[in-house]
Amino acid sequence: MPAGEDVNFGDVQANFVAGNWVTSKKLIDNINPATGESFAKVSMASLNDLERSISQAQKIHESRMLYEMKPHERAAMIYRIGDALHELKPVGAKILCLESGKRLCDAEDEFDEAVRYFRYYAGMADKLEGRSIPLGAGYIDYTLNMPYGVTAHIIPWNFPLSIAARSLAPALAAANCAIVKLPELAPMAALLLGRACEMAEVPKGVVSILCGDGPEIGGALVRHPDVSQVVFTGSVAVGQQIMGVLAERVVPCVTELGGKSGGIVARDANLKRVLDSVYWGIFFHSGQVCSAMSRLIVPREMQDEIIHMIEEEIDSFSVGDGIENNDITPVISEGHLNGILGSIETGKSEGARLVRGGHRLNRPGFFVAPTVFADIHTEMTIGKKEIFGPVLALQPYDNDAEALAIANGTDYGLAAGVFTQDIDKAGWFSDRLNAGQVYVNEWYAGGVETPFGGMKMSGNGRDKGQEAIFNYVQTKNVAIRIG
């Protein structure tokens, strides 16, 4: 069984096709966002690779191998994947840092989180129980949790390893096979999931890990007649396209489609906690987080004070390569950087007050200055469009009802937050905020145990926690007349 230190770039350039490593002539450069230069090449999966992966997965499903495996043995297999990822972390985290631009410490945390997903859902594999339903004398009635079969997992580039693990682990726990389609940006660390499956002695074909073109490989994946369930994290536009395709075959899809999440600062808020959440909520990973705190809703009379505190915090940030654990790291690509700058220009043209930043930093790589707008209103594009970058928009309010209306005033509903020392106020806002998760006094509070998902256009279904495993089973009822 190979150790993590044996892994090098060559080990992860290929695709993991039905349990075998397969290269192709079509290669893409893996760009380091901190320098703008390629540091490795990755094979692009072909339609033939995809067909082989799905065909083998379907054969395994039809054989009932995973379903009939003793649940504690399936749990042990999934736990071994987590152990293998832990072993691969030292090299894998460096690869993830190089290809995504994020801080090395955050890449290490992403490996730790992925490990936790496998260990958490391994613990659920032998606890997926049906139930007995009383129908009266002469009847036996019970339910079974049946796997879908071949599940498709379409993964974004911002947290590729963690997001792949959070759906792959419960899918396996529920006895499904999986085809994981990785992004063209930052795919290499997540390809190590294939190595982890090898080390864990997962039967060949149960899991395939493919890096391929989105419209070609992703499109063929969701259209394939043997794919019975899909998980997608990404943009609203692509999510709508996928759901439209799947509706033709009535195939279920769990989606997480981003947000424009707002944190409400109450007048009694602990401003130190607000500042901590400003970094983590919008400047961590340069704001490339679906549930980022991209809006801060503040009492009108406190806006200037809070702006001053945020500016002082920004002054303390170090900027540079993630390998050195700088506070501000690059965004993923030149194209994404230009999109962020375009959104900033739109904000300025619509009358938002630019307080800080708003420009590209004069250095190699794809760096955007931490940016703060003030005096925005919800009808401004910057107040309702997801930017996916280090851009914070402050919007003032006069009373709690107005703050609530501002927070709920977008098409999204992924996350929301409130900063207050009043537990009654925290409960009042939490009950009324239209979001799949509400953070009180700490943005991103929670863990792998807590359900995560959106309302409104932020998606449907729930990842994480015990709820997630039920995305991957279908309830079958069996009613028996006896005597």
Q: What is the DSSP string of 382-407?
A: GGTS---SSEEEEEEESSHHHHHHHH
**Which amino acids are annotated catalytic?**
256, 290
Measured CA to CA, the distance from residue 239 to residue 288 in angstroms comes to: 18
How is residue 435 written in tokens?
Answer: 């979001």
How is residue 312 written in tokens?
Answer: 């002082």
Residue that has been written with the tokens 């943005």 in this structure: 443
CA angle 141, 171, 453 (to 5 degrees): 100
CA 32 to chain centre: 21
Measured CA to CA, the distance from residue 252 to residue 119 in angstroms comes to: 26
Diameter of the chain measured on Cα atoms = 83
Measured CA to CA, the distance from residue 183 to residue 64 in angstroms comes to: 30
How is residue 418 written in tokens?
Answer: 């409130």
Contact criterion met (CB below 8 Å) for 60 and 29: no
Q: What is the DSSP string of 302-369?
A: GHHHHHHHHHHHHHT--BS-GGGT-SB---S-HHHHHHHHHHHHHHHHTT-EEEE--SB-SSSS--B-
Measured CA to CA, the distance from residue 144 to residue 475 in angstroms comes to: 6
- Whether the CA torsion 294, 299, 300, 305 is positive or negative: it is negative
Measured CA to CA, the distance from residue 272 to residue 342 in angstroms comes to: 32
How is residue 420 written in tokens?
Answer: 């207050």
Each as own residue / partner, the long-range contacts of residues 22-28 (CB below 8 Å, 24 or more positions apart, any chain) are 22/49, 24/49, 28/184, 28/211
Q: Which of 83, 87, 91 is nearest to 107 (CA)?
A: 91
